[in-house]
Amino acid sequence: AVAAHDKGHFEDAASLLVYLFKLPFARPEPMVLVYYSVDFLPADADPWKLNVAPDLFERQMACVAERKIPCLVSFDDGFSGVYTHAFPILRKYGLRGVLFVTTDYLDGKMSFDRYFKTPHAPRPLNWSQVRELASEGMEIGSHAATHARMTSLDDAKALEEARSSRERIREM
More confident residue, 7 or 27: 27
Q: pTM value?
A: 0.82
Is the pLDDT reported for residue 25 higher than 70? no
Q: What is the C-alpha to C-alpha distance for residues 76 and 168, in angstroms, rounded to an integer?
A: 16
Is the pLDDT reported for residue 122 higher than 90? no
Is the pLDDT reported for residue 107 higher than 80? yes
Q: Long-range contacts of range 155-161, CB-CB < 8 Å, 24 or more positions apart?
A: none
Is the pLDDT reported for residue 136 higher than 90? yes
